[in-house]
Copies of this chain bind each other. A is one copy, B any other.
Amino acid sequence: MPPFNVPLGADALRAAGIPAPWAYGVADRVRFGEVDMLGHVNNVAYARWFETIRVAHLMDYGISDFNDPETKIVIRSIALTYLKEVHLKDDYILTTRARSMRNTSFTMDFAVWVDGQMTTSGEGVIVMLNPDNSKKPLPDAVRATLIARDGTEQT
């Protein structure tokens, strides 16, 4: 069976014209259901894309399997800026990285790239919670992983 949906690392992203420090991406193609009646990718579809790569990043990095009764990972806020339209069947690359972290949360950056040009950018704040919804300090292993793979800054 052919490999597919393999995350792209720093080298593959540079080869696709995506600059440092992005180090985690996924390539995909615009689907019919993501285009709205105005003929371009719908604004909400990008929020879905950012969720998809956020979950893939957190699982691939071993930060969460979304099935741990001791830790909840929730999104506190999200922001998107629409720079250029994207259309049906366009090939694109999604990238994400944890830009900075605090005691109980971290901030992830997101971007969509078509032909090496950023077409949408975004960011989101992720919080770790205990089962009773109290804030949970990021475990040391999570901090180490984010620093090693994303160069995440402590702020």
Q: Which residues of A contact B (CB under 8 A)?
A: 1-2, 4-6, 8, 12, 15-16, 27-29, 31-33, 35-39, 42-44, 47-48, 51-52, 55, 59, 66, 72, 74-82, 88-89, 91, 93
Q: Evaluate whether A51 and B55 lie within 8 angstroms (CB atoms) in the complex, with A15-B1, A29-B5, A33-B36 already known.
A: no
Q: Are A66 and B37 in contact (CB under 8 A)?
A: yes
Residue of B27, B31, B37 near A35 (CB, 8 A) is: B37
Contact residues of A: prevailing secondary structure = mixed
Copies of this chain in its oligomeric complex = 4
Q: Evaluate whether A44 and B55 lie within 8 angstroms (CB atoms) in the complex, with A1-B15, A6-B2, A82-B76 already known.
A: no
